[in-house]
Amino acid sequence: MRALTRWGPPLRIACRDARRHKGRTALILVMIALPILAATVIVTMIRSVTPTDATFSQMTLGDTAQARLTADCIGTTMQDVRGGMGSCAGTEEGELATEDQIAGLLPDGDVLLAAVTSDVAASSPDRAVDSLWVTEVDVTELPGLYVTVDGELPTRQGEIALSRPMAETLDVTSGEHLTVQSREEASVEVRITGVFVGQRQDAAVALPGTVPGLADAANRLGKAWYVVGDAPVTWDNVLHLNDIGVTAVSRAVIADPPDPAAMPISDLDFGSTSYQTIGIVAAVVGVGLLEVVLLIGPAFAVGARRSTRQLGLVAANGGAPRDLRRIVLASGLVLGLTAGVAGAVLGVGAAGALTVVLRARDVAIPNFIVPWAEAAGLVLVAVLLGAAAAWLPARRAAGQDVVAALAGHRREATPRRAVPWVGLVLTGLGLAGATAGALTSQVTLLLGGALVLEIGLILAAGGIITLVGRLAPRLGPAGRIALRDAARQRGRTAPAVAAVLAAVAGMTAAGVYVVSDARHHQQMFQPFLAEGHLEIGLDTATGSAEERTGRLDDAVAVLDQELSIEHSAPVYVAALPDREAEFLSIYPEMPPEKLCPIWELGRAPTAEEEAAYADDPRCDIGEPAFISYASRARAWTGEGPQDIYIDDGSSVRLFGLPGAEEAADALTDGKILVTDPDYLDDDGTVLVRFSSYDPSTGQNSEPVLTEFPAEHVPWTNHTYQVILTPQAAQELGLVPVVVGMIAAPERPADAGDVAAANAAVAAAVDDITVRAELPQERGTAVVLLALVGAAALVGLAATWVSVGLAAADSRPDLATLAAVGAAPRTRKRIVGAQAAVISLIGVPLGVLTGIALGAVFVTWQANVNGHDPTWQVLIPWPMIAATLVTIPLLAVLGSMAATRSTLPLTRQTGL
């Protein structure tokens, strides 16, 4: 009670000042409330997307089902309360539990209701989809599992209900008909009885037997059973089911879960929470909160200075320094509490509105949960933010001179000379730590170093302002006044400079990482063809070679009308004449003289052997080769997991890749192609190992080693590891099988051309697929523009806040200037110069810091899994130029535009 009594008057004064200075109060409230609002929305949505026990039971079991069972383990399994499988102690022999075995472990009176799920092809009169996931189950026995918004659920075979997204995709509604086909079965027409919504992700539901062959097509994970009846499925029943590899979601167990210590799954070690993840989150949150404190700190500083006389009166009437400190801190507490409550309430409201919008678009939001505990924690964070921002001004207020305060004199605290030097030391240590973390792949050290670097720069900001202030005599009146004011009022200016610096540094570092990541993906990506070239493919399992070739020619003729095809050539892959073997293994072998002797030992080398071959270039593996990738599948179906291409140069010439012409000439000359030059012998030949696997016998053929003349091609795509000539394929006993065609149009095709081409070809030729090599766009320009916008938003906010406070703080000086004959526009120039001082110090330093941080993060990414040469530090110069020009220019122009030229004469005291 005594403590509350001490805080009573300061809190009353804080509330009165907040009402009196509405502009500053609104500014602080917005700055604190915005991050609290955003955090509340995020927390509320995270809690809402996780269903409660009641919601989970309704989603999974409907209104009456006792349990849902899945046989997903050959052996024994362990699970949690909601049926999440913790482990499967599988056996090499055996099979999944049967329905009779499962039924024997259920309570008396309960029966099983089978449900199977698989995908089918479906088409409406206007649209078609290749994959429609249909669940066949007797929904008449499962009330509440599916909720219709149009029509009703199926009641007999030959009927189907669709989810709302799928109904919109197929452009159908209840009462219309749909044609579906499961695998090799004949198609069947079904009537749509209704459209359902809800939390289940099924695209369609029908009664058993509606789609021919669906039950046979469903794999083991597509089979489940619902337990219906009056007897609940207890935890003991669940444990018995686990013993035969069955996982159960039981309504009774969810409603009354067992003691966690009695659950077998509690004995499993799932690993502890990643400290790296905690470090990343803590670093990001810490930097964000620090930015908020930097933005609102000057407002409290100016508020404390404008209350100097009031604080002096308190001190003159017996107030101790701690009383003055409480008065300023109380302002931070009051405003922090108000902003926290407002942000939390608005955040919950925004999350509720977002939930309504997402549910209207059929996004699964199971329940709307208000996170009371988390919201209270965020309000506490807001209070701490207000107190942290007011802490330094409170300390300065407690140490002020009472006589000077009552006389109206301005006496700024003498800056501590050691602080900037401490900041410089921390900056160096932080940069060194972050670099060390990047080189050693220790993310905790990396993030800790980056955070220390930021704190060091913030501490050094005051010293930088003082150093720049020495340029004042060389500037005009406006610049001179602005620089001297900034250096004199470091408590107000330094946080603003630090806020601009931190914001620009973060966005610049992100920009460096984004462009470096884009180059990394560009180097990792190895296209199949030149941009805009086409592939026409078909399923090699249907029709004879002549029929397939004829269909491909027809498809090219249609494409020629759409895209004006200049050249086309067939594509062949290797196969055995009888086509019994499904897996062919054809790859080049490194010449024996290029092999490191240590690799041939068949055991771990001794220290002496390692030392003996340490300088042998054959044993220097160098940088690990990176694996290239392609973002799309080929247009054709290959003959096995490895598509070994056979070509005489005609199709390779149309690849359009670097070196394609030379590669085609080499094939014409009878040379095979390899993508790794190390496989080439000194005489220009390569040794090819060939074997095959016959799945009917489970045997591999004896490998055959054959030497061919070869040529190296600079393609890292694994598809082109070996390309055989027709003569080489014949020598290996292989035959070419046509799988598609390569086509080069007059102009590069784009995504729209491909869509139109597929539609035109589908109308003329059956089972043909057209694909194009499209550019790999990662939206880098949009991301960089967003980063510039974010940096500008925070930088301008910090600058304008500080300039606005400076203008209010120096109003008597400006009024005196006007009184002694200064032109009206002088005030605008001074305000513009004040904005220029903050932005021209903070932005360049932020850019330099961001480049260093971005380089550190890229270096870490390059070394996290061994050195990856595809990661290179790139600097987004256009973004940096835009940042260096845009933020200072907008800061100066915006400040001048918002400033009036004239002010009424104000009494100036304490000169």
* 208-252 residue pLDDT tens: 989 988 877 666 667 899 999 999 999 999 999 998 989 999 999
pLDDT of res. 401: 59
Ranges assigned E (strand) in 541-595 = 565-575, 583-589
436-449: average pLDDT: 79
pLDDT range class, residue 266, cuts 50, 70, 90: low
| Distance separating alpha carbons of residues 417 and 399, to the nearest angstrom | 18
| Distance separating alpha carbons of residues 573 and 734, to the nearest angstrom | 9
805/532: higher pLDDT: 532
Question: Is pLDDT above 60 for 510?
Answer: yes
Q: In 441-579, which ranges are continuous DSSP H helix? A: 443-469, 477-488, 490-524, 545-563
Mean pLDDT of the chain: 81
* DSSP H or E stretch at residue 20: helix 2-20
* 148-180 residue pLDDT tens: 889 999 999 999 999 988 888 888 999 999 989
454/1: higher pLDDT: 454
| Distance separating alpha carbons of residues 258 and 684, to the nearest angstrom | 71
* 626-645 residue pLDDT tens: 444 555 678 876 544 357 89
* 123-143 residue pLDDT tens: 888 777 877 889 999 999 999
Question: Is pLDDT above 80 for 660?
Answer: yes
pLDDT of res. 103: 92
Q: In 614-740, which ranges are continuous DSSP H helix? A: 660-668, 726-731
| Distance separating alpha carbons of residues 494 and 502, to the nearest angstrom | 12
Rounded percentage of the chain residues whose pLDDT exceeds 70: 81
377-405: average pLDDT: 77
Question: Is pLDDT above 50 for 866?
Answer: yes
Burial (Cβ within 10 Å: 0-12, 13-18, ≥19) of residue 23: exposed
318-346: average pLDDT: 86
pLDDT of res. 871: 83
Q: Where are the domains of the chain?
A: 114-227, 534-598+624-772
Beta bridge partners of 565: 745
Neighbours of 353 (CB within 10 A): 11
pLDDT range class, residue 360, cuts 50, 70, 90: confident
Among 574, 849, 503, 552, which Cα is nearest to 735's? 574
3-22: average pLDDT: 80
pLDDT of res. 835: 84
* 268-312 residue pLDDT tens: 544 444 555 555 566 667 666 776 777 677 767 666 666 766 777
- The CATH class that applies to domain 114-227 reads mainly beta
Phi, psi for 187 (deg, rounded to 5): -70, 155
Residue 273 is classified by DSSP as P
* 13-63 residue pLDDT tens: 888 888 887 877 887 888 788 888 888 998 898 888 888 888 899 888 999
pLDDT of res. 267: 52
Q: Measuring CA to CA, how many Å separate 22 from each of 17, 29, 207, 324, 344? A: 9, 10, 66, 22, 21
Distance of alpha carbon 825 from its chain centroid, rounded? 49
pLDDT range class, residue 911, cuts 50, 70, 90: very low
pLDDT of res. 411: 55
